[in-house]
Structure 1
Amino acid sequence: MQYQLIQTQNQLNEFVEQIRNKPILAIDTEFMRRRTLHPEVALIQVYDGEHLALIDPLAELSLFDFWEILRDPTVLKVLHSPSEDIEVFQKYAGFVPMPLFDTQFALQLLGSGNCMGFAHMVKNLLDIEIDKSESRTNWLQRPLTIKQLDYAAADVFHLLPCFDLIIKQINEAEFFDIVINESELVAQKRAYQTPDELLYQDIKNSWQLKPADLAVLRELAAWRRNKAIRKNLALNFVLKEHNLVEIAKRKPSSLNALRSIPEVENIEVNRSGVEILKCIEKAKVVPVSDFPEPLKRLIDFPAYKKVAKDIKQKITKAAKEQGIPEDVLASKKQINQLISWNWKLTPEQRANSPKPDLLNSWRYEYVKDALQEWDV
């Protein structure tokens, strides 16, 4: 396996010319996610079947021409389980390479099981054991070791022959467009940002709170994310999620009272205590008429179990008719997403929220007749 590490502009320019007219590129990224909100990109691997390069984004490089190739809609970009890679590109490049072929999802679509890891795929399809000992390595260190570079190069070197085997079965089943559309859906969902005023609804155990408590939680959840974005800190390094609910319940009015809440750490109070107290005071003057409504779980709706079972039966029937694995057509989470969207949101909220996966993606074409009553 031959590859080059690209750390100069001349090396990158030469590589771009080598891959410029290639119809298929295998791509991977290495990144670190330590205390930051966004992944820190450390390496971009690219293989066209002939030229394999490891591009060092920490070097002083202009990637404009390389990005243009990844933007080219005539070039198929092949990745394995690219959800986090999509986030890397959204943040670092400002776009997501499309069309994008996810080999992990393609295998799932072909009935090979859920979330097959890269090493498992390579063993299954190529009968090659690959070394995964560097998966937890520090990719931001420089210089990178030969072992790190070999590991990174192997990810795309083996990805392309796996793709060659998978694409034959995908084309025979006429599933190519589904694979491409699924990656587009993942990118859409990664790019969507819940409005500040609705963030509190996604906080674990928020359903336990009363309306006055929810008004505090609403302020805290929005403040936490905005600070995380401003400081590029992971959310839980600003304030742990379970502490949000406890603070909203207790509504401390002083730093000492805040410190007395179990599990709230001194470092959280020292860094953000004053801001937290301001959120509480802001929520306290909110009129009762503007309090959030109590949150309901799906299991709190008497008809939930019967309705979920009915939808699942319809999905099962549609999946069998189309030859698509049932769990690919609709997971339990996606069924719950559909029910929640209909039952929990007002018409105005639905108009301003992303549609559920079952009503927005390739899935809709397969289930629209069976789920007609849910497409409101």
Structure 2
Amino acid sequence: MKIHPLITTTESLVQLCERLASSDFITVDTEFMRESTYYPLLCLVQVGNDKEAAAIDPLADDIDLTALLDLLTDNEDVLKVFHAGGQDVEIIYNLTGKTPHPIFDTQIAAMALGQSEQIGYANLVESWLGIHVDKGARFTDWSRRPLDDRQIDYAIGDVTHLSEIFPRMLQKLQETDRGLWLNTEMEKLASPDNYAVDPETVWRRVKSPGRNPQVLGRLKALAGWRENEAQEKNLPRGRIIKDETMADIAAHPPKKQTDLGRVRGLSAAWKNNDIGGRMMQVLEQAGPLPADEMPKRGRRGPGLGKEGALVADLLKLLLKIRSREIDVASRLIAKADVLERLAAGEREGLDILEGWRFEQFGSDALDLVEGKLAFAIVDGKLKMTRLDSANEQQIQDSMAS
């Protein structure tokens, strides 16, 4: 494989992208910094295929990334391969308003092939190629220039190894007929909805201080205001105001701006500075949260109940057994909240009741809930066993009494 010198000019980048555009797939990775900014600072982009690979310096003075971004977001003929690519896709979305498509994520694919639920890149490389990845440069400051050879070699290795792993992984998926299982997961990863931040809904990420509509209305207003402030100043949300401080203010709003000087988590300057004034204005204008926006109660609340919680635990046990039998990471099949919804009596909108998930797990999960399956020890192993009609009727009678 040909490894190019660090690309720092638009001309060399355009030439690279023209060659990569004829590939069936390209592997992609990024290095970025986000500790002190709202938007991640893109510091390096690595791309490659089975013939060549290069690192691109987006911080170089004489470079325009348009050719690369067009290749990633507009060329539907080239599959873009990432590993744990959520943050990489987010960066591309921030730059273009679009996401790479079509997309393939080796971390997700590894779950369908019986590897751990969130296998790290180094472990993936070791398991598929038998190569030990030197992680010494992993936590380097990628924004500092010049980058040394060790940093660049480490970064390019991320895409050269993926170029070897991806074809092997694809072949294994085809051999096991599991390639179609991943289509929905890859489309979810590529959905722009995952990366668009709506100031009107960010309050849902903050630990809710109870269910008081007045408090939640203030929390929604504060969270939206903080998001706009953070975006405008390109600062992390916590640099504006931390979650716990914001939630406390929503629950116990100050009567006047001078009271902000006594709020834990705020500096005394807030009692008379501009940002404190803007926050007070937001608080004064905040209304109660509308009823249709109120958060749903926890699934282990009234909707599930004690008996339902026991059924949910049995479903989780069933999931462990089935994932072991078919050698698939359980998280790819079902998540805990979906099992709890099934145990609570829901049947609509559950992905385990559709497609391959229903065939591999959902059908048995329904039978367990309806008393048609039980657990048994067979040859020292816990397995599922199907009940005969007499046993089913006995269970149903006991549930009805």
Aligned to 1:3: 4
Aligned to 1:280: 283
| Alignment match of 1:104 (pick from 103, 107, 113) | 107
Shift of 1:111: 0.8
Summarize deviations over 1:219-268 as a string: whole Å, max 9, x none. Answer: 11221122222322222122100111110121102233222222334466
Contact 1:182–1:361 under 8 Å retained in 2: no
Aligned to 2:126: 123
Contact 2:137–2:151 under 8 Å retained in 1: yes
Matched letter for residue 28 of structure 1: D
- Flag the 1:119–1:271 CA change in 2: closer, same or farther, 3 A: farther
Using the alignment, how far apart are the partners of 2:311 and 2:197 within structure 1? 29
Shift of 1:203: 1.5
| Alignment match of 1:136 (pick from 139, 162, 174) | 139
Matched letter for residue 61 of structure 1: I
Using the alignment, how far apart are the partners of 1:288 and 1:125 within structure 2? 51
- Flag the 1:327–1:45 CA change in 2: closer, same or farther, 3 A: same
Matched letter for residue 149 of structure 1: I
- Structure 2 unaligned regions, length at least 5: 367-401
Contact 2:29–2:88 under 8 Å retained in 1: yes
Q: So what's the TM-score if we normalise by structure 2? A: 0.76
Using the alignment, how far apart are the partners of 1:160 and 1:362 within structure 2? 28
Aligned to 1:347: none
CA RMSD of aligned residues (A): 3.5
Shift of 1:92: 1.7
- Flag the 1:3–1:289 CA change in 2: closer, same or farther, 3 A: closer
Name the SS for the 1:6 alignment partner.
Answer: coil
Identify the range of structure 1 (228-237 vs 320-329) with the bigger mean alpha-carbon deviation. Answer: 320-329
Using the alignment, how far apart are the partners of 1:307 and 1:199 within structure 2? 33
Shift of 1:20: 2.7
- Flag the 1:190–1:319 CA change in 2: closer, same or farther, 3 A: same
Using the alignment, how far apart are the partners of 1:4 and 1:256 within structure 2? 58
Identify the range of structure 1 (68-77 vs 2-11) with the bigger mean alpha-carbon deviation. Answer: 68-77
Aligned residues: 357
Using the alignment, how far apart are the partners of 1:208 and 1:252 within structure 2? 19
| Alignment match of 1:261 (pick from 235, 256, 263) | 263
| Alignment match of 1:90 (pick from 88, 93, 101) | 93
The answer to whether the aligner puts 1:169 opposite 2:176 as a matched pair is no
Aligned to 1:146: 149
Q: So what's the TM-score if we normalise by structure 1? A: 0.81
- Structure 1 unaligned regions, length at least 5: 344-349
Name the SS for the 1:11 alignment partner.
Answer: helix
Contact 2:44–2:142 under 8 Å retained in 1: yes
Matched letter for residue 214 of structure 2: A
Matched letter for residue 105 of structure 1: I
Contact 1:211–1:291 under 8 Å retained in 2: no
Taking only the aligned residue pairs, the percentage that are identical comes to: 29
Contact 2:128–2:165 under 8 Å retained in 1: yes
Name the SS for the 2:3 alignment partner.
Answer: coil
The answer to whether the aligner puts 1:29 opposite 2:30 as a matched pair is yes
Contact 1:67–1:93 under 8 Å retained in 2: yes
The answer to whether the aligner puts 1:191 opposite 2:192 as a matched pair is no
